[in-house]
Homo-oligomer: A and B are copies of this chain.
Amino acid sequence: MTGSHGMPEKRRAIAAAARVVFGREGYTRASVDAIATEAGVSKRTIYNHFADKEELFRAVTIEGADEVTETINTLMERHLRKILDLQEDLIAFGVDRVRAIYEFPEHYALVRALQAEVTRLPEQTLEAWTAAGPATAHQRLAPYLQAIADRGLLAFEDANKAANHFNLLTVTDVLQRTYYGALPLAESAAREIVTDGVRAFLRLYGVQNSAK
């Protein structure tokens, strides 16, 4: 059963374990031995697949970002493709997006670890991660907002800036308050933050047709 979908099975086990341990312990504190144990693999095998600890870190941060980005893409398709009630759809998207933070705790733990390492990371690694993760977050949102604007439901000059403001007013607010998902947040509190954010966003860019 060599499920070799490009990646040997062991490599995937190592990557998954690395994500957990790096997320839980941070880069420096995470030991390669601990990752090996978590992966159910010998330490030597890790070094057969990855040059060193740093390359392992680089690989898993980017792969993790890809995974989350994919999830967010799905959420945008689900909520922002066909708009029935703009405010409700934006709120539903925001709430699901926030929920995704708590559905990928290892990923956001990894984000915290990565942010702590920013000044020590090779420029290239940071760029690759930014491109895979945060950058896509609003680069991919912008076209959806543009499409909604084209149908006359939103009005702005720059879709990218609007997307940026949407993210700031919803998911960034949550990330900031919870230290990137480290602190728990009640579903109801998340909904309230997102609702406030969406209402502000619509006051900024909404077209007055659905009234109060």
Inter-subunit contact A180/B115 (CB<8 Å): yes
- Within the complex, the shortest CB–CB distance from A146 to chain B, in Å, comes to 18
User: What residues of B have a CB within 8 angstroms of the CB of A169 in the complex?
Assistant: 165, 168-169
User: What residues of B have a CB within 8 angstroms of the CB of A179 in the complex?
Assistant: 115, 118, 126
A1 sits at the interface (CB 8 A): no
A103-145: CB near B (< 8 Å → 1, else 0) gives 0000001001101111110000010000000100000000000
Assign chain A's interface to a size class: 20 to 34
Contact partner, A119, options B115, B165, B182, B203, Cβ 8 Å: B182
Total copies of this chain within the assembly: 2
Q: Tell me if A's interface is mostly helix, strand, loop or mixed.
A: helix
A116–B119 alpha-carbon span in the complex (Å): 13
- Within the complex, the shortest CB–CB distance from A135 to chain B, in Å, comes to 10
Chain A residues 133 to 180 lying within 8 A of chain B, measured CB to CB, are 134, 161, 164-165, 168-169, 172-173, 176, 179-180
- Within the complex, the shortest CB–CB distance from A141 to chain B, in Å, comes to 15
Instruction: Give A contacts to B, CB under 8 Å.
Output: 24, 26, 28-29, 109, 112-113, 115-120, 126, 134, 161, 164-165, 168-169, 172-173, 176, 179-180, 182-183, 196, 200, 203-204
